[in-house]
Amino acid sequence: MKKILIEPSARIEGLEEYYFSTKLKQIREMDLTGEPVINLGVGSPDQAPEADVIEELAIQARDEKAHGYQPYQGISDLRKAFAGWYSRSYGAELDPESQILPLFGSKEGLMHIAMSFLSPGDAALVPDPGYPAYAAVTRLAGAKVITYPLLPENNWLPDLNFIELLGLHQVKVMWVNFPHMPTGKRATKELFEELVAFAKYHKILLVNDNPYSFILNDQPISLLAVPDAIETSLELNSLSKSHNMAGWRIGMVAGRKEYLDYLMRFKSQMDSGMFKPMQLAAIKALEAGPAWYEGINSIYRERKVMAYALLEKLKCTYDKDQSGLFVWAQIPSIEASGQSLADRILLEKRVFITPGFIFGPQGDQYIRVSLCQPKEVISSAIDRINGKII
C-alpha cells in the first residue's frame, strides 16, 4: 500500500477507535450474512421521550424565527429549567445565570473539561473500571492517566487512602461517576463529602459524571448538594438516559462560575448554540414529575429480571443491587476472560454482550448486559444462548 503523505498528530496515533464504533461495524457486517445480531451491549434507550416533549419540538420547529444561531451558553429558560430540576431532584441550589452551562450531551463536556484544565505535565485520576472516555479525553489533552482501582471487595468505591499512595503532585482532575457505570454502584452522601474534602485538600478539580441517577435508583443524589462542593467540583448531567433523549444530545455541566467561564472559552471555539426548539422541548422534559421516572423504571425492572435469567444461563454471578441501564456480572471461573466469553456468544449465538475489559483491567473477568431492549428481545437472546455453550 502506498505510504500516506500526511501523518496524523501524535495524540491521534496514541488513540484507538472507540470500542463500540468498531464492534457495531462488525455487527452490521454479520447482519448481512445471516440472522440479525441481538444487541445487548449498547446503553441507548429504546423508548421514546414523553409525548409532550416531542410535540413541543414539533410546535417550536414550525416557528420561522427559531432557526437562527442561539447563545453559546444556551437560552436563559433552559438554564432555569436545569436549575429547577437540580433543586427539586437533588436539593442542590444553582444559579442558572452563572453556574449552569448546557451542552450537546455530557460527553462533549468531558472534552471541554480536559482541554480547559489539563496540560502536558498534568495528570488525571481515572477509575478502573470506568467509562473509557475519561482516559481518552485526558490523553487527548496531553495529560497523564493515573488509574485508581474500584474493587468488588470495597463495593466498587474508591479507596482514598490508597489513591494518596499513587502520588498526587501532578494530579489536577479526578474523574468520578456515580451511579457508577459499568458496576451500577450508587454513591452515598458520606462518600461525596469525603471526595469533596479530598479534592479540596489536594487542590484537585473533582468531576462527577451523573447521567444514571434516575435509572433504577430511588434516591438520586448530586455531588453539588454537598456544602462547598462547588468550590472544587463540576458535575455533568444529561437527558439521554433519564428522559430517553440520547440522540437529542442535550446535557449540562454545573459548577463555579469561574470554572464554567474557562469551559466557555474552549466551547465557544468548537460549536455554536443548540437548536432553539430542542432547548424548548428539553425544558418540557425537565418538568416531568415522579410518574415519568416510575414509568420508565417499571419497564427496566421487568427487563432486569430477564437479564438475570440470561446471565444465569451463562453461569455468571451478579449483585442485584445495581442502578443504571445495565447488569454487571462476573464470569464463571472456567472462562479465560469476559472478552473470550462475549466473543464466543457473538460468533456462535449472534448475541452481543459487552466484555468488561473495555472499562479497564479490573473489568477483565466481567461482562455487562444492557437493559435497552424489550423483554421479548432479551427472551430471544436467552433462547439463542439456551444450551451448553460453556
- Can you spell out the DSSP letters for 304-346? HHHHHHHHHHTT-EE-S---SSEEEEEPPTTSS-HHHHHHHII
Full-model pTM: 0.95
CATH architecture, domain defined by 10-48+291-385: Alpha-Beta Complex (3.90)
> Does an H or E element contain 159, and which?
none
pLDDT of residue 389: 44
Mean pLDDT for the stretch of residues 106-130 = 97
| Per-residue confidence (pLDDT) for residue 9, from 0 to 100 | 84
CA dihedral 294, 298, 299, 304 (to 10 degrees): 130
Provide the pLDDT for residue 387.
Answer: 61
pLDDT reading at 246 higher than 70: yes
Tell me the average pLDDT of the chain: 95
Cα(337)–Cα(331) distance, integer angstroms: 7
CA gap 139, 129 in Å, rounded: 17
* Residue 16 confidence (pLDDT) above 80: no
Cα angle for residues 155, 158, 160 (degrees, 5° grid): 135
For range 50-74, the mean pLDDT: 96
pLDDT digit string, tens, across residues 328-368: 999 999 999 999 999 999 999 999 999 999 999 999 999 99
Whether 64-286 and 10-48+291-385 are alike in CATH topology: the answer is: no
Q: State the distance between the two ends of the chain, measured CA to CA, in whole angstroms.
A: 41
Q: Please tell me whether residue 352 adopts helix, strand or coil conformation.
A: strand
CATH code: domain 64-286 is: 3.40.640.10
CA-to-CA distance for 122 and 117, rounded, in angstroms? 9
Q: Is the pLDDT of residue 315 over 90?
A: yes
The per-residue pLDDT for range 146-191, each reduced to its tens digit, is 999 999 999 999 999 999 999 999 999 999 999 999 999 999 999 9
What is the per-residue DSSP string for 95-112?
A: -TTTSEEEESSHHHHHHH
Contact criterion met (CB below 8 Å) for 131 and 109:
no
How many residues are recorded in the chain?
390
Please give the pLDDT value at position 390.
Answer: 43
Question: What residue ranges do the domains of the chain occupy?
Answer: 10-48+291-385, 64-286
CB contact at 8 A, 285 and 50: yes
Helix (H) or strand (E) holding 64: none
* CA distances to 95, 261, 265, 384 from 113, in Å: 20, 11, 11, 43
Residue 319 has a pLDDT of 97
